[in-house]
Each structure stands twice: as C-alpha cells, then as structure tokens.
Amino acid sequence: MSEIEIHAVRFDSPVAQALIRAALADLGQRYGGSGDETPIDASEFVPPAGAFLVAHLGGEPVGCGGWRSHGDDGETAELKRMYTSPAARGRGVARAVLAAVEESARDAGRKRIILECGDRQPEAIAMYTAGGYERIPNFGYYRDEPGCLSFGRPL
C-alpha cells in the first residue's frame, strides 16, 4: 500500500477545487441540490486563521479537509470539506486527513474543533465518534435543518 502524503494547499488551488467539487457532488447525491450551501471564502483557510490540506496516494490527490476559525475567541476551529475519493476509501485517508487537520488547528493555537455533518453520512459519523467527537448543539448554516448533526472535541 502506498503511503499517504498530506500537504497544505490554497483552498482555491486547482487540486483543492477539484476535490471540493467531488465532495459537493457526493453530498448532492446524498441530500440533493448543490450538496452544501454554506458560505465559504477561500481567505478563511489562509494561516493562521485556517488551513486546507490535500492527501495523495501514489502521487494522486485522493482526499482533503480543512479548518477555519470559528467564533471570536480564537480558540475554536471548524472542520470543513472533509472528503475521500471513492477509489481511496477504506485505506485510512480520511483518518489521516482528520489527524493532520487537528494538528494544524492545534499548532495554530485552537483548543477545540467543531463540525457540521448530515445524518446521511454514516461513515463520517462513525469516524468522528470513533475519534472522540461528541454531539454538541447544532450551529452554522444548517443548524435548523432536519438531519443536521454537530460534533466537537477538545484539541
């Protein structure tokens, strides 16, 4: 098995945008529409306020995830755009990206990480709960939507 390599990239880079389009298509299949209408600005993922990471297997981009600052206290990171391509699933990519995102947020001084997820993503929910994430009150763009699940954990 090839080793997973993870690198920080610009959110608006071509490789990141290709993976994000795939992520949104996946979400669109699960939930309908464009997949996610949450307002996002690429500048939110520029250090030290955030970061965006891409995972490669065998030199090919196969996954991504990032974090952006949440709230005014400078202590909370919000996980965004976690995705693994179908061909790379089950190979530890998502867990590796999640760990790298958490490390990046921790290195930037964040003490907590939170995320929004939908109830039609059982594999993501299982990964987050196995990683120590616990349900928190809903927040964000989809907080009042049926099926919205929010999670968080200390870093």
pLDDT for 32 equals: 85
Tell me which of 20-29, 32-41, 78-87, 119-128 is least confident. Answer: 32-41
Stretch 131-143: mean pLDDT = 95
Distance CA 154, CA 121 (A): 22
Strands 148-154 and 112-118: antiparallel
Longest Cα–Cα distance of the chain, Å, equals 42
Distance between CA 136 and CA 143 in Å, rounded?
11
Q: Is the per-residue pLDDT at 1 higher than 60?
A: no
* Residues found in the chain: 155
Which tens digits make up the pLDDT trace of 31-77? 988 778 888 999 999 999 999 999 999 999 999 999 999 999 999 99
Which two three-digit tokens encode residue 124?
Answer: 């993501």
Q: Which residues contact 96 (CB under 8 A, 6 or more apart)?
A: 4, 6, 55, 63
Q: Which domains does the chain have, with CATH numbers?
A: 4-154 (3.40.630.30)
Distance CA 147, CA 28 (A): 14
Q: What pLDDT is stored for residue 5 in this prediction? A: 98
pTM: 0.95
